[in-house]
């Protein structure tokens, strides 16, 4: 599958909202926060400090996105906030292509490390394996952070 | 010294800004972000999710403050954002009194754990000792997070 990565645009919003709502790993509160991050990144003034990239397939259909931004009060730490690929297009390298494109943008902007936080719950096993396979190292594990039995795992990748 | 802890009020703003500007541990960017958090907590609608408490001495002089709030997307995790005591009033338990009052408010609101992040630099030795003395445990240490040689240390306290 030929995947093209480009800047996220306003026209992607409906398809993107559909992906968020159909991603079982996101709950309702998370969808609201993800939409705030995405709206921030669509604002051309970029006051929000959020950035987003879109993936589309060879038919120019929107199939996934990634959102990221610099960590305030740091010289070169960046956070990856959200990464999601439409379910029927998963397993073909779209997530890795989005992640790699974001890392390149971050490095170009002077970033030297990227962080990703995710849940320790069993339903996120695939998500966590994906980050480890993409050279993210687990650096912190906070039990019961999100809820009882739901730990926060922090991953880091040193860029470049 | 008799210390009274109360809600932060708009009338405290000038004294508070002076404390921020005279605290060598805060740089200019941090002062701006601290002011955003404080303004959010002074907004009575509390849309921001930030809360602040003030300390005053027996002469009703404002001598310190603490800002805190729930961590979005968690059931009971809270962050302590800022804690500062006017330099000439340090060393008399005002910081500990502010911290204890915030922890009580957090627990009353259903919070079960509090997090504090601070720098690993030598100039924050006293700050880190203060948190450890107040039963915060170091749970994560991220080298070079803020800048080269400037690690982020995350502390956690389980409440109640």
Interface contact A147-B75, CB threshold 8 A: yes
Q: Tell me: pLDDT of A127 over 90.
A: yes
Q: What is the mean pLDDT of chain A?
A: 93
- Mutate which of A49, A78, A142 to test chain B, going by most B C-beta atoms within 10 A? A142
CB contact (8 A) between residue A142 and residue B140: yes
Domain of B146 in residue numbering reads as 4-158
Which residues 75-94 of B have a C-beta within 8 angstroms of A?
A: 75-77
* pLDDT tens digits along A20-60: 888 887 888 888 888 888 888 888 777 778 999 999 999 99
pLDDT for B27: 82
Residues of A in contact with B75 (CB under 8 A): 146-148
Domain count, chain B: 1
| Higher per-residue pLDDT: A7 or A33 | A7
**Mean pLDDT of the region A128-153:** 97
Q: Give the model confidence (pLDDT) of B25-58 as tens digits.
A: 788 888 888 888 888 888 877 777 899 999 999 9
Nearest C-alpha in B relative to A77: B145
Sign of CA dihedral A38, A39, A45, A49: negative
CA A57 to chain B, closest CA, distance in angstroms equals 32
Q: CA A67 to CA A39: how far, in whole Å?
A: 10
Its pTM stands at: 0.90
Please give the ipTM for the structure prediction: 0.89
Q: What is the pLDDT of residue A118?
A: 95
- Is A139's Cβ below 8 Å from some Cβ in B? yes
CATH assignment of the domain containing A65: 3.40.630.30
User: Counting Cβ atoms within 10 Å, is residue A153 exposed (0-12), middle (13-18) or buried (19+)?
Assistant: buried
């Amino acid at each position: 599958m030929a995947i093209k990565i480009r800047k996220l645009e306003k026209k992607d919003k409906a398809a993107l909202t559909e992906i968020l709502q159909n991603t079982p790993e996101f709950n309702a509160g998370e969808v609201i926060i993800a939409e705030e991050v995405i709206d921030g990144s669509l604002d051309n003034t970029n006051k929000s400090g959020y950035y987003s990239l879109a993936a589309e397939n060879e038919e120019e259909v929107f199939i996934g996105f990634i959102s990221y931004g610099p960590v305030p009060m740091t010289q070169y730490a960046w956070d990856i906030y959200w990464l999601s690929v439409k379910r029927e297009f998963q397993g073909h390298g779209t997530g890795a292509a989005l992640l790699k494109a974001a890392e390149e943008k971050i490095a170009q902007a002077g970033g030297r490390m990227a962080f990703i936080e995710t849940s320790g719950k069993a339903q996120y096993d695939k998500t966590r394996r994906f980050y480890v396979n993409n050279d993210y190292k687990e650096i912190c594990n906070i039990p019961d952070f999100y809820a009882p039995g739901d730990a926060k795992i922090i991953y880091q990748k040193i860029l470049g």
